Chains A and B, each alone.
Chain A
């Protein structure tokens, strides 16, 4: 059962490039969406929440398409420090559950000088 699917990469890009990650989710009851970042051998950290109207945080833009059950993350002007694995995360409330997070396997980004 693949509830959240991501391209595993790796994406190897030069500094300054624009890179986009895509994610699809299978549960139409999903209600909350996030992008987390995980550095090598470190814990995941919240990068940004994803809102229905799309949202931007500096160089990062997240988009949500509920009809297609698709989430994206765009990183502009890539920095070396952006090198990490990006996790697509959804929360679904169904069957009286408290709505736990479902994590994708992650997309690895490597930004080169």
Chain B
């Protein structure tokens, strides 16, 4: 019963490096989301997708790109990492945007030096 799986779980990058975070869900959910969580802040939405091949900007999209080539996968890319992107990143998925709950992955802890 995998649910939402994020890889990697931890990563340390140097400023300017690039990387991709992978989110995979096996629940056949249409909607997928990427959030970041910083100390003293609530979760903030970076980008989201309402279906395969679609993406949209959330509250804090700058410095990130996403792709949803397959329904089960949602990739978050950092093209040129900055220390301000040090955070815990959570992926989530849901059936829709009504009262359906969002199911979260267990997070990726990313440090940018």
Contacts and interface: CB of A to CB of B under 8 A. Distances in A.
Asked if chains A and B come from one complex, the reply is: yes
A103 B101 contact: no
Interface string B94-106: 0001110110111
Contacts of B56: 98
Interface residues of A, number: 21
A52 B52 CA distance: 34
Contacts of B59: 100
A98 B102 CA distance: 14
B41 interface: yes
Interface of B: 33, 35, 40-45, 48, 50, 56, 58-59, 90, 97-99, 101-102, 104-107
Interface of A: 4, 32, 34, 41-46, 49, 87, 91, 98-106
